[in-house]
Chain A
Amino acid sequence: MLVSGATNIIGSACICAAGATLDDCMDSMLTGQGAPVAPTLFTCELTELYPVFEVPNGFLCNSNPLLSRTANLLLTAADDAFTNSGVTLRDLESLKIGVCIGTSARASLNFIDTYRAWKQSERSASAPIHRYLASNPTDIIINQYGLDGPNQTVVNACTSGTDAIGIGASWIRHGLCDIVIAGGTDELSEISYNGFASLMITSPEPCRPFDKNRRGLNLGEGAGVLLLASDDAVRKLSPIVRGKVVGYGTFGDAHHLTAPHPEARGLKMALKAAFENTTLKYNDIDFINVHGTGTPANDSVEGLAMQEMFPDTPYSATKGFTGHTLGAAGAIEAAFSLACMERGEIPPSKGFSEVDPGIGSSPIAERTKMSCRYALSQSLAFGGNNSVLILEGGEFI
């Protein structure tokens, strides 16, 4: 039996192509807006064009040129999380604050122009190196807010954001922190664009999660941040508690490095682990935010797990609005899940229109009103990682 205990969520924010704030994202998703476009942030040399979900520069509140785009996305989301929590940094002065952020592409030494110059025996520029060294997502938050508590940069590919929130919640449970700034962030780049294209899992058209005719994923970018708080911190700060992290599970497939286990072995084990530290049963979950990338393999495996473990639970996929934001995806979708419970509405799974007989079920296809107390948000990743969060919504006093 795992150590139990729900962790309070007092702030929730995200930025992605669907909107500059969580509210904007929800408004645009509930009304079905948004479509991927040809990349403008970098040059595409591939014959076939793969549309992406870029964040308009106007969405960024932080645009420090000395930092990476990933860092500026994160700072924008983190600032918004504090704003909507009503808590200021001054309020937190006597508290121990941790930072746990997931990322994928940004952790890599992806400065191709610098590398190209170095290969050609030219003197490589220092600026990209300094920008890399200064842009570790966790360091960014620590330096921006002047923090000195526990910190961790999680690099579990596309489960990173989910894992960062799960790990951050454990810091609260064990008294290591009073507050944890947890989430994920990733930017679009030429490297990930060419990399995913080389793996032949990107779609030349808008992605269609769980649809019979899905052709792959669209890449996206963004950041999501949750402010997690201990019960003592809540008593001291009196913020509005917007939800709770009540469960977290993670498990590797030990099967293949870029494809999920065909019988969802790791995912089912992660789901089981997420429930082990709760009193909940599978049928207590009101809706599931699936990973839903729109690749044939991912959606089939998730569909299988849904059918076996949650045959009657509605599920939705949001990547038709955001694209796959990699290390940010789990955090952005945790914020979405929380917002859906707050609003009592779930957006349609954009891109879905026809049931895949191989999956045998359909995601929520229309804007749906639903009273929800418990939501589950799951992420799958390269390396065989599978991670799951169980979130509680409602009114907390």
Chain B
Amino acid sequence: MNMTIEGIGIAAPFGGKEELKATVLSKVSPSTPSLYKATTDDLSTFVPARKQRRIDHFTRMALLAAYRALDDANKVDDLPQNLGIIICTGYGPSQTTFDFLDSIIDDGPKLASPLAFSHSVHNIPAGVLSLLLGTPCPQTTICQLMNPVMTGIQTAALWLAEKRVDTILFGAVDETTPLLEENMDKLVLESGCEVSTPVSEGAVFFLLNNQERGYATIETSISLSELNNTPLFSHRELLKTLNLETLVGVIPVAGAFNLAAAALSIEGTDRSAGCNEGNTWLRVSGNAHA
């Protein structure tokens, strides 16, 4: 199944799409972010401040990347018809979950925060996005540490193939918390490995459809043997070559950054690249002919 990437939006500690593109095209190792926390102040470009109240950091990252993807395709003011939303994540809105636990521990169950509880439900970011866009639409959220991005891409391809939707805002989001950072250190210690790259966070959104014009075409359900003649932008190789791991940090949805980097590197060419998460592969091809 094929689909086209029409827009890319990123909200990450290193910045957005342009910063990633500069790194990919220059093939120069980027400077390391001083803090692996994404800023979302630019959300005010798209969403009035009064509508941002009560929105947590995880959702803000998702919204900013989603609006940037729409903006990248000049679709903010002219939203695509028959839109769908798919979000994948490794951990979901962790800090909001911990905020709810804080309210129980600090104030007692009687004063537990209904806002933190409801917003810790993992499909709320997709609900907030559709609400702010004013678009009732098919929406689904995926939470898993094993291949979250490829799984989400597969679902996007199916929804387009089945014509449930004509366009999909597909996003990958994760956030870091102090507890997650500490636990990651602990798990690394237990495993005997040595990891120097910090736990990170961020959001990447793609505007996907079946049109021909865009950054690149994605082919899903590709076997490794089918990629024999394709330069492999495998997660490991790309990160190693461009030192993107330093830029992106350790994040369950790193595959989405890899996919964005691959698409940006072959935009306007007739080249292809393979991207993977685990044993799941897809091919990204430039749309020079379009």
Contact = CB atoms under 8 A, between A and B. Distances in A.
Contacts of A94: none
A78 interface: no
A258 B183 CA distance: 32
A382 to B, nearest CB: 5
Nearest to B113: A198
B183 A129 contact: yes
Interface residues of A, number: 68
Chain A residues touching B, majority SS: mixed
A151 interface: yes
B145 A269 contact: no
B134 interface: yes
B258 interface: no
A331 B94 CA distance: 26
A157 B143 CA distance: 11
Interface string A197-240: 11110000000000000000000000000000000000000000
Contacts of B142: 152-155
Interface in B121-151: 121-124, 126-128, 130-131, 133-147, 151
A281 B136 CA distance: 23
A202 to B, nearest CB: 12
A213 B140 CA distance: 33
A385 B101 contact: no
Interface in A307-334: none
A210 B122 CA distance: 28
Interface string A262-306: 000110010001000100000000000000000000000000000
Most A C-beta atoms less than 10 A away, residue of B92, B122, B190: B122
A2 B119 CA distance: 32
B179 A155 contact: no
B105 A119 contact: yes
B105 A116 contact: yes
A46 B155 CA distance: 41
A384 B179 contact: no
A34 B153 CA distance: 43
A155 B104 contact: no
A107 B143 contact: yes
A157 B139 CA distance: 12
B124 A151 contact: no
A254 B134 contact: yes
15 contacts: A109-B98, A110-B101, A115-B179, A118-B182, A126-B190, A139-B144, A157-B123, A174-B1, A191-B101, A195-B120, A198-B117, A250-B138, A250-B140, A277-B162, A383-B127
Given A126-B190, A252-B130, A384-B139, 7 more contacts: A109-B98, A110-B101, A119-B105, A136-B144, A152-B155, A198-B112, A381-B123
Interface of A: 1-3, 44-47, 104, 107-110, 112, 115-116, 118-119, 124, 126, 129, 133, 136, 138-139, 148, 150-157, 163, 167, 170-171, 173-174, 176, 191, 194-200, 250-258, 261, 265-266, 269, 273, 277, 381-385
Interface of B: 1, 85, 91-92, 94, 97-98, 100-102, 104-105, 108-110, 112-114, 117-124, 126-128, 130-131, 133-147, 151, 154-155, 158, 161-164, 179, 182-183, 186-187, 190, 221, 279
